[in-house]
Structure 1
Amino acid sequence: MTLDALYRDLHEHPELSFEEVRTAAIAAAELRAAGFDVIEAIGRTGVVGVLRNGDGPTVLLRADMDALPVEEDTGLEYASSASGVMHACGHDVHVACLIGAAQQLAATRTDWHGTVVAVFQPAEEVGGGAQAMLDDGLYEKVPVPVVVLGQHVGPAPAGLLGAHPGAAFASADSIDIIVRGRGGHGSRPETTIDPVVIAAAIVGRLQTIVSREIAPQDTAVVTVGRLRAGTKNNIIPERAELGLTVRAYSEEVRLGMLAAIERIARAECVASGAPEPIIEFAESFPVTVNEHVATERTMAAFRAAFGEASVVDPGPVSGSEDVGLLATAAGVPLVYWILGGAHPESYLAAASAGTLDRDVPSNHSPHFAPEIQPTLDRGVDALVTAAREWLGS
């Protein structure tokens, strides 16, 4: 099967977080065929391949495997066959590229020495996959690397590569707040404690965190993405539920925002005579930090291989990732870059017209459909180039 055909197959058969059984089996089979020693079921559905090729450094290459609960609307002939599930974030690209890179590195063993560790990670979308693999003893089962390398496809022109040194991807925290009141008839509000009014006050007050508590030179986002309360117009409910996402580029700002959210939620409940709110922290992604020296070394290798015009600094990305945990746990540098996946001519036309947001679907969109080529070839070559830069020659 060609790499293009493998990608189409992966795209057509997406699997949700910690359910990547079919994808994991494909990765394991392809690694074995290339000569890797394979370990399966690390962190539930994770797969790791190890290729030892004499003395030398160990390099870890990582791809995530999970899809999203999104109904695909691309119209592709190889569109998702799973109702309500889609590779809307491009992890199928990541898997295909890492398989291709593993095959290429295995086929060129006379040109390098050291050890390649290929990690196919589950459940990035829920922020638990990397930690699950670590908790399952990843670095007790495979050699500890000198660097962690990886890439994420995005709506930039296909063939473009970009990495930002320092804080490259934002932290992300999901927070659920349950406001408890006292329900009753809508005609007798004086007998109730209205959680809808309290929730509305919390939503309004939360907007002051970024505007009044975060320094102008810092970047932060607080979004209330979910607000649910009540069953009927004339009933004041017993409770209201809020769902938040919080993003930042430094741990100091992140912790400050989390503390402010708790303070505001509790204070609004106290002000209304309501019980303490229930505040629960769900998914959490740390800030993804690219080590400066390692990033420049890897980008220099890209510039030499693909030309100056093919390598950019995209600046900090507001999306989030858990790949950094693999580097932090090993105490080694991370280099994580963006891989362009949009049709180059269409991208340039939309950029000229000022319609990028409308005409070039981004990750998590039901219309997200990376160009198969040259995206896959560049993604494979980028992983191989980066690995060879850190392996012995």
Structure 2
Amino acid sequence: MKNHRMNLHQIAEIGFQEFQTKAYLYEQVKNCGAVVHEVGETGLVLYFDNQKEKTIAFRTDIDALPILEETGLPFASKREGFMHACGHDGHMAMLLGLTDYIAKNREKMKYNIVLIYQPSEEIAGGAKSILDSGLLQHYQVQAIFGFHLWPTLEEGAVFSKSGPLMAQSSETDIQIFGKSAHIASSSEGIDSLEVAVRLMSEIYDYEKKLPEEMLHLLKFGEIHGGVIRNVLAQEVTIKGSIRSYSPLHQQEIKDSLRKIANRFEEEFQAKIEFIYNDGYPAVLNNSELFDKIKSISTLRVLEHPVLQAEDFGVYTEHFPCVFFFLGVGDVPALHNPKFDFNMDVLDNGLEFYKALLEIENY
């Protein structure tokens, strides 16, 4: 698995362009005894027909990020400007390890098994491409499992929880349209910059009053407007994110922002528009499925979900699923150009995958 990780790390490719990565993966799995399906140009789905009643699935993502690597590793990415800075190389290595284990131990398997080598987790559409292939439905998959390497959690330990694990993300742009005028004649214009500042203050006051049990994030990281110091800004754009674990909560926050904006439009005679990119749904672990696996001795239960998003949430909308974090300890954050991890944790991940195969009656 370590060799797989190092080899894959060097050929980092972004979503739906993982051609060399797919070729490498195909070369490793083509003789494993599974039926190998190609999904789109870069996805692979393997099916091990073990003549069992039920079928379970395991998924890895295979894409990298457009990041210039700064690790200095001897196996650093050979594709300048692209890097496996989110651990997907490790995820693939573990699933290749599982592929090999299943191929060599098919007589021990309690289930038919689907293995998903999914493109484009970082860019929307990867999980959807797998669902749209119809293969998971065709093979009547009963449960889907997946891993993500996770900094700050204890190295080598496996963590998860029932219910909400990762958030839905709505990337949010607020566009404020005023009327340009020289500041010496400001009464003739509509100051979109003033509206933006006051609106931001109002939104953050609203956010502070949301009930504590409504786990959420409502933050903005960019604001752009104006062209010169002595002219009122014609237009301002504020960019941020709304995150929660419930579509109802997402909509409640959006509705509240619209009501605030309506008041500002009336007061300042400005026009305010919202643009949302709703991204991935929340990762919601199936409670019944989680109860069946929580007896695995190496599984640790997280107290709280995280606010990061992952397209594994697309699967949780349609199938019983459980997603796990594999701790990598005190290392640079995900998406950091210096991200790296101790590859010994891959053995822990594979052992946990094997333990999942031993559970009865999914």
TM over 0.5: yes
| Structure 1 gap segments, 5+ residues each | 304-309, 348-359
Match of 1:153 among 149, 154, 170: 149
Q: Distance in 2 between matches of 1:188 and 1:363?
A: 49
Find the partner of 2:30 among 29, 32, 38: 32
Q: Counterpart in 1 of 2:53?
A: 56
Letter in structure 1 aligned against 2:6: R
CA RMSD in angstroms, aligned pairs only: 2.2
The residue identity in structure 1 corresponding to 2:348 is R
Equivalent in the alignment of 2:350: 380
- Superposed displacement of residue 172, structure 1: 1.4
Greater Cα offset, 173-182 or 121-130: 121-130
Change (3 A) 1:267 1:328: same
Contact kept in structure 2, 1:153 and 1:338, CA below 8 Å: yes
Shift of 1:391: 7.7
Q: TM-score, normalised by structure 1?
A: 0.84
Cross-structure match for 1:354? none
Contact 1:52 1:116 in 2 (8 A): yes
1:90-109 correspondence to structure 2 within 5 Å: 90-109=87-106
SS at match of 1:133: helix
Q: What is the aligned counterpart of 1:363 among 302, 324, 334?
A: 334
- Where does residue 306 of structure 2 map in the other structure? 317
**SS at 1:168's partner residue?**
strand
Question: For the residues of structure 1 that align with 2:183 and 2:79, how far apart are their CA atoms?
Answer: 44
1:74-153 matches, within 5 Å, as 74-139=71-136, 142-153=138-149
- Deviation for aligned residue 1:238: 2.6
CA distance in structure 2 between the aligned counterparts of 1:70 and 1:167, rounded to whole angstroms: 29
2:123, 2:89 → 1: CA distance?
16
1:353 is aligned to none
TM-score (structure 2 length as normaliser): 0.91
2:222 aligned with 1:226: yes
Number of residue pairs matched?
A: 360
Is the 1:59–1:390 Cα contact (8 Å) retained in structure 2? Answer: no
**Aligned partner of 2:243 among 229, 243, 247:** 247
Letter in 1 for 2:77: S
SS at structure 2 position matched to 1:47: strand
- 1:281 paired with 2:276, answer yes
Quote the Cα distance in structure 2 between the aligned partners of 1:183 and 1:336: 51
Three-state SS of the structure 1 residue aligned to 2:141 is coil
SS in structure 2 at match of 1:236: coil
Contact map agreement 2:280 2:314 (CA 8 A) in 1: no
Q: Distance in 2 between matches of 1:198 and 1:27?
A: 53
C-alpha displacement at 1:253, in angstroms? 2.1
User: Distance between the aligned counterparts of 2:249 and 2:2, measured in 1?
Assistant: 43
1:231–1:46 CA distance, 2 compared to 1 (3 A): farther
Unaligned runs of 5+ in 2: none
Distance in 1 (alpha carbons) for counterparts of 2:229 and 2:81: 32
| One-letter identity of the residue aligned with 1:312 | R
- Aligned partner of 1:334 in structure 2 is 321
Q: 1:139 to 1:297 in 2, by over 3 A?
A: closer
The structural deviation recorded for 1:383 is 1.9
Q: How far apart in 2 are the matches of 1:269 and 1:82?
A: 49
Q: CA deviation at 1:113?
A: 4.3
Q: Equivalences for 1:156-195 in 2 at 5 Å?
A: 156-195=153-192
Alignment match of 1:217 (pick from 200, 208, 213): 213
Residue identity in the other structure for 2:106: R
Aligned-partner residue type, residue 328 of structure 2: G
CA distance in 1, matches of 2:278, 2:249: 18
